[in-house]
Chains A and B, each alone.
Chain A
Amino acid sequence: MVADESRKRLVQLSYDRIDIPAAYQFLQTPGAGGVAVFVGTARQWTGERETLSLTYESYEPMAFKEMHRLIDTADGKWPIQRVCLLHKLGEVHPAEASVLVGVATAHRAEAFVACRFLIDQLKAQVPIWKQERLTDGQKVWVEGNYPSKSPNS
């Protein structure tokens, strides 16, 4: 994994499996007293509907810029020491990780809130879409919610 020059943030869109131990290693820093890590995984059952796999596609250059922009916003709100935002593209099977958000701060409260902010904003703003492959052979694009707030809020 390659960090940017500041060594503070790690942003990736990759067809490879998310390397969770490597992400955690990146987040470790002596100044932090708390590291919050959220891992989003592919869910097999949604009510009665069974998902065989999810396939993610992205408008990659813009997604990458949006992920950095969200980190810039979070960085202005909370004293973040390390942050990573990783999203897998291509096929993801049930129980596998599709997204990882990690934040290291001096105290846990900021780590939790910044982590929650980043995953919620990623799901609303970053141009990535998933298609579900169902047991009946259908492939269905999952439509997200149209964001009610302006993209810069």
Chain B
Amino acid sequence: MLSFKVQLFSVLKSKLKADSIDLETPEGISVSEFLDLACVQYPTMEPYRRVMRLAVNQTYSEDAHILQDGDEVAIITPVSGG
């Protein structure tokens, strides 16, 4: 098993009243599987699943990318800067 501290921002941070969540995953998990699992464990996030992107080590990642132990992860909902 791998364990991640997942950073949250904006609407997810408000909904979960936390700026990060802990997530344990099997080894070899992909980005899309990771986001699915996060929504199962934290169902409050489920309505946002379709628009979530995962940043891995501060870079947007592809759905099929495999996470490694020690990766810095953050869930990015649609941004609204500017």
Contacts and interface: CB of A to CB of B under 8 A. Distances in A.
A9 interface: no
Nearest to A62: B58
A143 B11 contact: yes
Interface residues of A, number: 31
A129 B7 contact: no
Contact of A127 (B11, B14, B79, B82): B79
A141 interface: yes
B55 A127 contact: yes
Contact of A65 (B14, B58, B76, B80): B58
Interface residues on B, range: 20 to 34
Contacts of A129: 9-11, 77, 79-81
Interface in A41-81: 56-59, 61-63, 65
Contacts of B81: 56, 58, 63, 87, 98-99, 122-123, 126-130, 144
A98 B10 contact: no
B45 to A, nearest CB: 14
Nearest to A141: B11
B48 to A, nearest CB: 9
A33 interface: no
B78 A127 contact: no
B60 interface: yes
Contacts of A99: 81-82
11 contacts: A56-B81, A59-B58, A59-B74, A65-B58, A87-B81, A98-B82, A128-B81, A129-B9, A131-B10, A144-B78, A144-B81
Given A126-B81, A129-B10, 11 more contacts: A58-B9, A65-B59, A99-B81, A126-B79, A127-B74, A128-B79, A129-B80, A143-B11, A145-B78, A146-B51, A151-B53
